[in-house]
Structure 1
Amino acid sequence: MNREQSSRPSGLKLVRMASTWQPLEPCTTETVSTLLSENFTGRSAAVLWLDDRVETCLYRQGTFTFFQDEPFTLRHVQRMRVFNADREFHLVRNSGNTWQGRLRIDGQGEEWDMVIACQLLFGTRKGNAEPESPLFTSITEDRGATLHLPLKGLEFDEKGNLTNRVFIKTHNYIRTNKIHQAGYVDCRFVEFCACRGENNNFIPLELAGEPGGA
């Protein structure tokens, strides 16, 4: 990054960064599974838009792990984002049960202008999810919905309130057209983070499921 303007507490930054993207033409579910395994070899997070709900889960060793360990196949997924600090697959299922989308990789390729933003997630306190999972932390608030996040290290006070709210960091890519109008052309999820300290620093949160432990 060689140019930066910043404002807080949303984490907004205008930066210039090398990035590349590869389109994924319509392909089969089997091809998607292979591409995911080839491009995501460690722990990554995933957000899946299923036929009946949205799930946040862990992707590792070619497998999606959910809060409730239930049978899963990609045929129930309408859309997915699988991501880590370096890259993201964004895929959408077509009406013919094929997939298309793109792979975005940061840190290589041509220079892009982009806006980094940290979006506040729902949840102010620890959820009372049953049964508890060693790989997921549940957060909720008075409006009722609960998020099950594949994170460790979230901090709560003695009343169960989150010490620091959870955000999701996004990269929002900018291009200028022939008449010099600038606009967003792509967006990717990067990582979960927490806003901490007097300076409202956004600190990456570690995914659960490291080798040899939760």
Structure 2
Amino acid sequence: MKENENLPQITYIFTIFFLTLGPMKTIPVFYKIALNLEQKDRFRLALKSSLIAALLSVLIALIGLNILDTWKVSLDAILIVGGIFLFVQAFEIVSHFSGSSTPQASPIQENKPLRLLAISPLAVPVIITPYGVVAILLFMSIARNNLSLEITIFGLLLLIMALNFIGMLLATNIMRWVGVATLQIIGWILAILQAGLAVDSILKAFKNLGLITKS
């Protein structure tokens, strides 16, 4: 990705963030946890988990980039590692595809305070996944010495967290009208796209390193 290709770059970043940090995986889990909660408690739980996840994503971006700079990790290395991790996640999504019925409330979570549910499992690891952390580090590495792109990345992270919040608020309606099977099919399709983007990331690094001929 070149600096003058801003629009494709933003679209690429948003797509990866949506796949690794977005609401597709959050909605079914939130629905399961909040099934027996009152509307006001659902709102509080969705808001708290979204805010916590937003804060964590920003901290990861800031702290992670400093660590990468300190350790002098090259961009090509991050592109390769990031591509591998994103491909692994996509493979896991496809290999675990199933058409199970709508999930029921989890008795394990019923007596857990909302503030703890907001932290775990919702903020971590449902919203902030290990693959999401890799994606954040990947794009912050690409944005080194590019303040405009760094600001764009932070904006996209906040946008994704807002989409998580909206998805959780609408989880009941989405699960009733769309259902688990449909969400899984959509997730499977998006996983194929993610696998392609992951391979593209690795190929870019190989081209930069001169391991394959540039097209």
Both structures adopt the same fold (TM-score exceeding 0.5): no
TM-score (norm 2): 0.24
Name which structure has the greater RCO, CA cutoff 8 Å, separation 6+.
2
Q: Higher strand proportion, which one?
A: 1
